[in-house]
Each structure stands twice: as structure tokens, then as C-alpha cells.
Amino acid sequence: MSKFIISPSILSADFARLGEDTQAVLDAGADWVHFDVMDNHYVPNLTIGPMVCDALRNYGITAPIDVHLMVKPVDRIIPDFAKAGASIITFHPEASEHVDRTLGLIKESGCQAGLVLNPATPLHILEHVMDKLDMILLMSVNPGFGGQKFIPETLNKTKLVRELIEKSGKDIRLEIDGGVKINNIKQI
């Protein structure tokens, strides 16, 4: 596994030129494409769905697509994103009635599975599912809107989660989402 992966969100792209913008970011060195999917229920914003993922695959994007679901209920849309070409699907435990079942659904759909922890979500939620995770995504802003400032406490949470991952002995990727800029990426 590569030590660092750059996975910019397509929400910053020009949607009239989404395929071109996405390819340009990948050509510039991005490794993955990050999809922020919001339903205006779990978070107070509305973004994109599986059709956009499918359109990027049809355009010729072959890089891994990292789908971050900020929707509730979450299980209904997982197979749609898997069919559309998602590589990794992450979700917030607060959006699932049965976290273990949702992780299983993602894997059964052919994708890697991960959990997203909000800044205030306690780490104990990971205790019973570490063996099912391919990724843990830590929100370094409160979810729902782009352009927020990085929450510094995320650095401490990152260290604690890294320790949990190492203790588990599993190959689990740790992703930081929100407020990552040139002036703070080295700390992260």
C-alpha cells in the first residue's frame, strides 16, 4: 500500500467539464477521485449520485473512486454506487441501523468498505468492526459544506486511530477529509 494517497473531491470541479477536470487533476498527480455524496437529510446539503460516478467511468476515468456517503438511510444507495463504478465506499455509523451489516453490504457489492468518523464521534465505535474495515475516514471539519477550516484536534484523533490500526494488525487505510491545505498537510 502506498504511504500517501491524494484524493481530491470532485465538488471543486466545474461540473460542465467534469470529465476533463477530473482527468486534469489525475494527470497532475492525484491518485484517487473523492465523491462527497450528500442527501440534504443526514447533512444540510445536496450533491451528486451514482449517475455522476457512472458518467466518469464512461468518460474513461480508471482511477479508484472513493465514495463518501453522507446520506441516511445509507444501505439503499450502496449497490447503485457499486454498479456505477465505485471502488471504495465509506459511510457514517450514525447513518446506519446496523453498521456491521452495512459494511457487509459494501463488500458483497464488490467494493472496499470504510467508516467515517465525525469530529465528535467517539473511537469506541471501531472496536467491533476493525476486522471488516479497509479504510477509516476522519472528518477534520463538520460534514456538509466545503471550505471549512481544519479542526486541529483531528491531529490527536489521527494518532489514536493510527495506534488502533497498528494494534489490529490489519492493512487499513486512514484518510483525512476537510480543510486539508498546503499550509497544514505536512502536520497531517
Enter the DSSP assignment of 41: S
Give whole-number Cα distances, 183 to 4, 17, 147, 150, 172, in Å: 17, 28, 14, 11, 26
Quote the CA–CA distance of 61 and 159 in Å, as a whole number.
Answer: 33
Give the DSSP letter of residue 87: S
Q: Kindly give the interhelix angle for 18-27 and 50-59, rounded to the nearest 10 degrees.
A: 60
Please identify which of the residues 39, 66, 75, 177 carries the catalytic annotation: 177
Told to judge if 134 belongs to the known catalytic residues of this protein, a careful annotator would answer no
Catalytic residue among 14, 36, 100, 171: 36
Q: Does 14 participate in catalysis according to the annotation?
A: no
Are the C-beta atoms of residues 142 and 170 closer than 8 Å to each other?
Answer: no
Active site residues: 36, 177
